[in-house]
Chains A and B, each alone.
Chain A
């Protein structure tokens, strides 16, 4: 049996609000928690597989040119070496998320510094690492490598779908009471998931098993099969625990294909784990951006014009570009609009999805510009935003689904004590620290993706949930368990949720904040499927069926669940598909951030003292894991505001700070005890469980609250991220005796 739902109409039944069991939404501990805190959760590298060998990738030492030759004899005779592999099927770079096919392949053309071009396999990791260091390569470097996205001789591409020209922005700017015209730059970011990418490939005949660290197993199987030239049925991927993804593990990556090719050749399993340096050199980056923001407003602060024109980059041949203007399209009004993206082609590692692609940097800069407008107009930043929430979509004749935007702004302002802020910059001192408050809005598009799950209700009254969905730290194990418990009237210890195996029904995977609502809906539908069968057995309508505490009742009857199962297992399948509700309304999640920052009046060092986020994302499926996602997002915002930037050598384009000592992700002391408020909301347009995505909302503007607070503290407007002390120091007010 399969219960199928295509989301063509709003799901107004809200069954989850009528069930006797209400575990969904509660802050239930993660069922996978005890394994994770005791070191017994098995990540990709850790599978104990008989005969396992180790492979280390060798990367290109030039940014553009040709691999002429690999001198395999250079490591011949070293102990333990089992082979050197370099193959036209090797991946130039990882596949983009949901690509579902191989990315560009080959090792002879070198397109960026760090491109994997060979794999050295040995009996032990130490031997393979030594071999990879010693392997001699002959490369021919071209002299026309492109390393600067703003170089004057480039002609960036203009993707057709990302050029909006509505009304007359120039005229609106000329006639406006208040205007902002500012250009910001954001640097490249690396996801820097704590677990480096890893794959163990093992073959049995022509059947490949890959233990990997992947976010979207359904697509990864097809990408891996296509890369190797085998049928997808011959490939199984297992990814039950993923040590952080953030977009970096969306598509099949070079280490998987190299491991599979080598394993086939030597007839033994091969384990390839990237070094941290390789993670920085050949895993997807978030593209740098140049963003010109133009805002035109009347005397009341109402926008009459909005311009957001962006330049980003990618490797030649890649279709992805950072969708910087994604939320700019719908968050604020203004009838005259110019929104555009240009893409420069660089010899720099592939650009792809890094947590909240688009909004992470687009909202950050838009919200800086809104702060500039608040300052020039003298209108309170919260009020300015509230006054620009459009009734209908400013570009398309389309209403919004549930949108608690104004509520998030009000709630945040009240809880944070926003009324205590002095709007005049540089006026609050605490010893040698200048204190400022800033705020920003949060917005992120919401999507639903096709997803399938199977639930087995076993004759002993326990259940197993199976789907190839992943849990990358997001809390999937928890929320799918909770949904199954409520739908079938079971306790958490009676439900065993199994994930990340491509033999299970094909799910959305984790990415773009779609995972919880999509896979959650599929489990919900699979349980509905089972409820239908139980109702039939009990002799009542499905609507009347009540399942609670191991008992089934309805139509005036009540029996124990085990009696109703009568020694049989009932299997239900759920299948959710996006439908017209994605086109009929603008679906998005909203929120607000408030930050208090201290800037050292002598050194320019900025520290976040406190920070609040208020978010609305439909039904919250687990308050503990959802809050943690928001804590993570806000911390990414702090990192983007203050520390994070990939630095490139302008001479040859290689990334200079390719490790965790030099690429500064926030550490514990950088982050105060953040406060998160989750608003009560149901969005019937989003999914049958009324939930929307929350995994990325926490950083869709968060950094702007921090830099807006720096402006309030000091009067310095940093437009070149990150706001390191060197960019603040020169603009600091003259020191006065404290």
Chain B
């Protein structure tokens, strides 16, 4: 057992858990934050995506005890029914989900991904490693390809992200 203090969605949360506990299982099984989902537990599907200190990660691939003092943002921290973030609202409008199980991960991932584009991080489909990163359909699709959606709402996810990003810029 190890004591860890996490700052989750702006709130300090104390955790006393087995050192083998992943950040994802800490959220879901210990802290009652079940918005982050477990689809594979191996970093293959992206359903568990959260932001740690502003960067998106697969929370199933990291142990909770490694994040003492870290700032963690989960989907619950982005908005709630009646007060959705623009991206969450765009997902509803464009039907960027069906069963909803990958959705938290998609939204956390997209939230961080848009910052990466703003910071001109290149992707596998970028024309240049050092140039300006552009918000094209292909860039969105590539950068969101770590988040599987078996209902396959991909075209709607791309539309939702593009609309929310364009509205904010």
Contacts and interface: CB of A to CB of B under 8 A. Distances in A.
Interface of A: 29-30, 32-43, 45-46, 48, 54, 124-127, 130, 191-196, 241-246, 273, 275-276, 472-475, 624-625, 627-629, 631-632, 634-636, 659-661, 665-674
Contact of A40 (B80, B98, B99, B157): B80
A368 to B, nearest CB: 22
Contacts of B33: 39
A37 B91 contact: yes
A628 B95 contact: yes
Contacts of A666: 152, 154
A29 B141 contact: no
B42 interface: yes
Count chain B CB atoms within 10 A of each CB in A244, A246, A627 and give the residue with the most. Answer: A244
B79 A671 contact: no
Contacts of B145: 667-670
B98 A34 contact: no
Given A34-B81, A40-B35, A124-B29, A628 B92 contact: no
Interface string B80-117: 11101000110111011111111110010000000000
Closest 4 A-B residue pairs measured CB to CB? A39-B35, A243-B101, A473-B99, A36-B100
B34 A631 contact: no
A644 B157 CA distance: 22
Given A37-B75, A275-B41, 20 more contacts: A30-B92, A33-B95, A38-B35, A39-B74, A40-B76, A46-B34, A124-B21, A194-B102, A194-B150, A243-B37, A244-B99, A473-B98, A474-B98, A628-B156, A631-B154, A631-B156, A632-B151, A635-B154, A659-B42, A671-B152
B59 interface: no
B148 interface: yes
Contacts of B146: 667
Contacts of B156: 628, 631
A666 B150 CA distance: 8
A276 B37 CA distance: 13
B152 A661 contact: no
A38 B101 contact: no
Contact of B101 (A35, A43, A669, A674): A43
B100 A243 contact: yes
Nearest to A43: B101
A621 to B, nearest CB: 14
Contact of A195 (B99, B141, B159): B99
Given A126-B21, A276-B40, A473-B100, A632 B75 contact: no
B127 interface: no
A45 B100 contact: no
Given A38-B84, A674-B155, A276 B32 contact: no
25 contacts: A33-B92, A34-B88, A36-B97, A36-B103, A37-B75, A40-B80, A40-B81, A42-B34, A46-B34, A126-B18, A194-B101, A194-B149, A242-B99, A243-B37, A276-B44, A475-B98, A631-B153, A634-B152, A635-B154, A665-B148, A667-B148, A668-B145, A668-B154, A669-B141, A670-B145
Nearest to B147: A668
B151 to A, nearest CB: 5
Contacts of B148: 194, 660, 665, 667
Contacts of B142: 668-669
Contacts of A195: 37, 39, 99, 101
A668 B99 contact: no
B56 interface: no
Count chain A CB atoms within 10 A of each CB in B47, B96, B99, B144 and give the residue with the most. Answer: B99
Given A37-B97, A38-B79, A196 B38 contact: yes
A625 B101 contact: no
B152 A41 contact: no
Given A36-B103, A243-B100, A631 B38 contact: no
A135 B141 CA distance: 43
B51 interface: no
Count chain B CB atoms within 10 A of each CB in A33, A35, A130, A631 and give the residue with the most. Answer: A33
B40 to A, nearest CB: 4
Contact of B41 (A41, A276, A631, A673): A276
B14 interface: no
Given A124-B29, A661-B42, A668-B145, A38 B76 contact: yes
B52 interface: no
B92 A39 contact: no
A611 B20 CA distance: 45
Nearest to B29: A125
A667 B45 CA distance: 10
B13 interface: no
A632 to B, nearest CB: 4
Contacts of B44: 276, 659-661
Contact of A34 (B92, B96, B141, B154): B92
A624 to B, nearest CB: 5
Contacts of A629: 98
B92 A631 contact: no
Contacts of B89: 37
B63 to A, nearest CB: 10
B78 interface: yes
Given A42-B34, A46-B28, A669-B141, A244 B157 contact: no
B34 A39 contact: yes
A193 B155 contact: no
Given A244-B101, A473-B99, A629-B98, A194 B47 contact: yes
Count chain A CB atoms within 10 A of each CB in B34, B96, B107 and give the residue with the most. Answer: B34
Given A241-B100, A628-B156, A273 B38 contact: yes
Contacts of A273: 38
Given A48-B32, A194-B47, A475-B98, A668 B93 contact: no
Given A29-B92, A37-B97, A38-B35, A244 B150 contact: yes
Given A29-B93, A37-B88, A196-B39, A631 B155 contact: yes
Contact of B99 (A193, A624, A667): A193
Nearest to B40: A276
Contacts of A628: 95, 98, 151, 153, 156
